[in-house]
Each structure stands twice: as structure tokens, then as C-alpha cells.
Structure 1
């Protein structure tokens, strides 16, 4: 996995800037919950600018070590197989199934003025989400995420910036997931007829 942080400033300017500014603390308080629907247990689903496009239904997953792109985004960006680099390692899905990736592609993710280039693993499986961003993106950005507060916070030019989750979108994804599950009654009747 290769992740690169791009910056318009050179090292000398950054070191001068760092001497003048106090270190930022990225944290969360009860005030960060204002505007969220409480109580809840929603996933952190955000909109990000990926490859020059605003992409909705992006899951922030601190537990994942790979950024993943699903067919909706792959097709929406008009990517072709020849755009992909080889990626030979199989992945294990949430359901425990082995998934063979189609390949890998490096794309920029823009947050504010900051651009982080990320290697997405492209899979051809159905997902509620268009993409998953994971620890490599969070760590390169210097970000922390918290599902309780439905936010991602990161430092940028001496300030703490934030990306706010979309609980409504997260809940819509859950409804879609439930509607795509096989009907238990029809499975049971099919088993009886065998």
C-alpha cells in the first residue's frame, strides 16, 4: 500500500510555520454531537472528493488497512481495466468470503486544500458503499475519526478541520442492506421442498 501526501509548501516553509504555531489537539467533546441524532449506532458515512468528483456513500473504516473501491465508483469515474495496476492478494469480505480484486488504482482524495493520493483496491462485488477509506488515508491526512460524533477531524494550516458524517445516508444504506437479504421464509420453504 502506497500513500503519498502532496503539499504546495516546501520543507523550509513548513518548519518556519511549525515554530510559530502551537501544536493542534484533535479531540472530541459533547459539543461535537450537536446536530447528530442520538442515541444511534450509525456507521460513519461521508462525501469525499475522489479523482476530481464528489463521491457520496464513502465509509470511514478505522479497522481496515486497505482503501476499497466498488463497481458504482469504478464505473462512475469511467475507469477501464487498462487503468488498473495488478493486485494479486485476495481480500476477505465482511461476510467472510474471499474476494479477488480486479486491480489497484492511485487516485487523489481532496479534503479542503489538502490532497492525499491513495491506492484503491478495485473489487467487483456489490456494496452499499461506493468506497471505503481506511487507516492509510486517515494516517497520511493526520486525521482522527469518531463514529459517536459522526466526524473526521484533521489538521490543516494551523487549524482543525472536520468532515461531518451523513447519518441519513448511513441509515439509507442499512435499509438497502436489509432489503437485499434473502427472504428467510422463502429459504425455509425451498429447503422443505428439497
Structure 2
């Protein structure tokens, strides 16, 4: 729990060795009936469509929409010295995570996870081992860079960027500074369909308050 701001409702995010690589931003989700792999990890592992086997069942995303998987692949997942063969369903949708480890992995490892304590514990060799959660976002040190002469309008650039990459980034920002908006008044004429929030409710239905339980 060191470094965790209390009280918290963070998801449990860990680092696991998947295949031959240490993979960060892996979410542990007891509510998931399958193990999921997202595009960043799929590409990072150098996988190709021919590496996948067919998986025809549709999945439901976090937003509630149906997602057609690209396929299924089995890979070893290592936690400490314990290695478990895991079936990953590969989906081509955006996610801040690289993978989701669901109940199949937890049950095979005989593990118990806790978002409250930010840990996964499992039995191994007569003892109880644990995987400690890592920060969801690891942010490097940033420096403020003014590219248009106005100190109120600035960008933040990572201090650890290689010099050439940093120079290319600043060159790009200077060349396109006119397209960055700092407040809503700098983007007049935007279609309200893009910026207005609407509740997904039926306006013809009369709202009713639930009775107390």
C-alpha cells in the first residue's frame, strides 16, 4: 500500500512476464470470464494473424458494445517462478491496459486478488507468494516549454526524451501551434453534436423514484 493515496478505488494493475517479455499495465479483473490481449501487446510481441486460432464468440466491451475478436492464442504467463499457460482472446480495440487477466488465470493459479490491498496472493511450494500492484500511470519528469511567446500557453515535454526526438517534437509543436485550443472560445463553430453531453434515456418515460429498501 506504499504510495497509494487513501482512500482509493484504483484498479489492480500489475507487471507480468508474458511470453518472453515483462509486460506492464496488466489489469487483474475478477469480473472477466476471459483473458484479453489488446493491440499494444499483440504488436509488441510480434504476433501475426497466422499465430492466432479462430475464436467466434462475441465479447462485450466496457462501453457495452459487442466486439468481434481477432482470434485466440495460448502463451505462458509467469508470476515469480510459477508459469501458467493462458489462453488470450485478442481484440482490436483501444484500452489503457495491455491485457486483462480474468478468472481463468486466477483460478489456474489458485490466486486471490484484492483491489483494496493492491495485491494478488497465491500458494506456491508450501508458501504464499504475492504480486504487488503497480501504478496505472508512470509519468516521467516534465519540463514546461513555451513555443509561441506567451507564458500562459505552454506544452509539457518529458525530460528524458532523446535530444533529436525532443527537437523534432518541438519543431512539430511550433509548426502547428495555431491548431491547439486552450479554451472553448478559441474553437468557434464546432458542431454541438461533438461537444454536448446527452443522457441515454427515453424522454417519453416518466422517471420514478425507487422505494427505500
> What is the TM-score when the length of structure 1 is the normalising length?
0.71
In structure 2, the CA distance between the partners of 1:36 and 1:102, relative to structure 1 (3 Å rule), is: same
Instruction: Considering fraction of residues, name the structure with more helix.
Output: 1
1:188 to 192, 200, 207: 192
| Whole-Å separation in 2 of the counterparts to 1:48 and 1:80 | 21
| Correspondences of 1:34-183 after superposition (within 5 Å) | 34-166=2-134, 168-169=135-136
CA distance in 2, matches of 1:158, 1:190: 57
**CA distance in structure 1 between the partners assigned to 2:110 and 2:88 by the alignment:** 19
Instruction: Decide which structure has the larger Cα Rg and report it.
Output: 2
Please provide the CA RMSD for this pair: 2.2
How does the TM-score come out when normalised to structure 2? 0.65
1:191: Cα distance to partner? 7.7
Gaps of 5+ in 1: 1-32, 173-182
Contact 1:87–1:104, Cα closer than 8 Å, also in 2: yes
Count of matched residue positions in the alignment of Structure 1 and Structure 2: 148
